[in-house]
Chains A and B, each alone.
Chain A
């Protein structure tokens, strides 16, 4: 399993390049085109990410979430991951920021680091995505969209804890 995950990036790369060679695609130019797009995209997301990083730092360094989560006493899972579980559906950049702090504090190979990585990698910003997609087509009544999205997020958190404990 670990071997597969080690070779998956180079494997996808080689498949993409060989297939494109057969199809006579101008690989170099297309790659550059993609890189350009990547730079644009990075610049586009930079302001919102930067804003989120600062605001999240203020919240995290004020110890508000820490103090709040220490009041909640659950022994089922490490409570260090609670902030990420709460913030993940709301904001991508702020949950990545918290993951950043967790990896820095506990190390990426610790149990907490692993669970936090899995939660961040497996779910998406439910509230933000629902807001963005529906506002793009002017939908007002979203029915049970949010409920299902958040239930799926909750199941993801539970599964990530089970999976790290079993495997």
Chain B
């Protein structure tokens, strides 16, 4: 997927530039390499800071506690998973980390969660209901701390870089709910 995307960006971009006689594309390509590096250098410190704090939260058990708070809700959202499954801790931690804007740190827990779901799966090559629900929650995850976005806004001298947080909380919560509702509708409609 990413493979074709990468190729098509280059092919479309270069052919279109040549067709429209846009020869600046050559120097743009070279200077983009430098701006790519600049972007990385502005994001690395934030990833380090946040993972440092998250590691303290993980070791003190705070992360586990917050994840456990979510379990009663998760039981309702994932009716197919048995109540005592370790799946819920993984899903909970995954959601909490996604909320805090460290999606990359959330991924290992998400991979564990979906592996547990696969154990419960009877048709190993077909996605189960819980898997679909879990991925909706992941792709449309509720976010309360969008670290990357805030760091980019700081870089461009926003008057208040964090002013975006309440908007993101509202938007991501609503779109996650809509995703879950559509997901539920699929099963309700099927039953009727």
Contact = CB atoms under 8 A, between A and B. Distances in A.
Interface of A: 1-2, 4-6, 8-9, 12-13, 15-17, 19-20, 23, 25, 27, 30-35, 37-39, 41-42, 45-46, 48-64, 89-91, 94, 96-97, 99-100, 103-104, 107-109, 113-114, 117-118, 120-134, 136-145, 148-149, 151-153, 155-156, 159-160, 163-164, 167
Contact of B126 (A37, A57, A104, A143): A143
Interface in B114-172: 114-115, 117-118, 124-127, 131-132, 135-136, 138-141, 143-146, 148-149, 152-153, 155-168, 170-172
Name the interface size band of chain B: 35 or more
Contacts of B145: 8-9, 12
Chain B interface, DSSP helix/strand/loop, else mixed: helix
A129 B144 CA distance: 20
B5 A91 contact: yes
B135 A128 contact: no
Which of A5, A17, A128, A132 is the most central at the interface, judged by chain B CB atoms within 10 Å of its CB? A5
Nearest to A108: B158
A147 B183 CA distance: 10
Contact of B171 (A108, A136, A156): A156
A64 B13 contact: yes
A29 B143 CA distance: 28
Contacts of B118: 137, 139
B110 to A, nearest CB: 7
A148 B1 contact: no
- Pick from B22, B29, B168 the residue with the most CB of A within 10 Å: B168
A104 B55 contact: no
Chain A facing B: main interface SS = helix
Contacts of A1: 166
7 interchain residue pairs of minimum CB distance: A34-B55, A152-B179, A57-B32, A121-B146, A38-B48, A108-B158, A58-B13
Contacts of A27: 56
Contacts of B44: 38-39, 42
Contacts of B127: 134, 139, 141-143, 145
Contacts of B39: 49, 53, 96-97, 100
Contacts of B141: 124
A16 B152 contact: no
Contacts of A52: 6
Q: In this complex, which of A32, A54, A63 has the most chain B Cβ atoms within 10 angstroms of its Cβ?
A: A54
22 contacts: A5-B165, A8-B144, A19-B57, A20-B59, A31-B52, A51-B6, A54-B33, A54-B36, A55-B6, A59-B12, A63-B20, A121-B172, A134-B127, A139-B126, A139-B127, A141-B126, A149-B135, A151-B178, A152-B178, A156-B171, A159-B170, A163-B171
